[in-house]
Amino acid sequence: MKDSEKENLFATFKGVILSIIEDKRKNPKNLKTLNNFKGRINLGLQIEEDFYFWMSLVGENGNFEIGQGKLEDNYDLDVMAAPEDLMFFSNGENSIVHMVTKKNRFGLKKLRFKPGTTGRNLGLLLKLPKILVLDKIKQPK
């Protein structure tokens, strides 16, 4: 993967994740979740069968930062998915159950995770959809 492609991929996913978080801030019921979220997560985007593009998501006290590259130490969770699967997860089309039970185009689970250096942190995995998935918009009848 060329450096320019990596930069575009990073800019795209950073923009998507930050815009989802900003959209969630508009709904008062999400503020407690966003403000109480504390985690350091490595997001691995599976580009090829044996190549992952790594990003980091660090959230604490309502502030979120997204960095390029993998956090090497003091992180809570590694989450891996193909970019298209992560997009379908973020827009609410695919549920967490769908993501952990169905296979991606590489024959692996659509959403995979490994514990970080701070422990298993499965509770953090359960909180992740509350941060990364857009809220359903109720259509007027």
| Domains of the chain listed by start with CATH number | 3-132 (3.30.1050.10)
User: How many Cα atoms occupy the beta-carbon half-sphere of 32 within 13 Å?
Assistant: 1
122 class by beta-carbon count within 10 Å (0-12 exposed, 13-18 middle, 19+ buried): exposed
Q: Residues of 83-117 as b/e, b for ≥16 C-beta within 10 angstroms?
A: eebbebbbeeebeeeebeeeebeeeebbbebeebe
3-state secondary structure of 33: helix
Ranges in the chain, pLDDT < 50:
none
- Amino acid identity at 104: N
Q: Write out pLDDT tens, residues 22-55.
A: 999 999 999 999 999 999 999 999 999 999 999 9
How confident is the model at residue 121, as a pLDDT?
82
What is the rounded CA–CA span in Å between residue 84 and residue 80? 12
How confident is the model at residue 139, as a pLDDT?
59
How confident is the model at residue 126, as a pLDDT?
84
How confident is the model at residue 140, as a pLDDT?
61
What is the rounded CA–CA span in Å between residue 46 and residue 51? 6
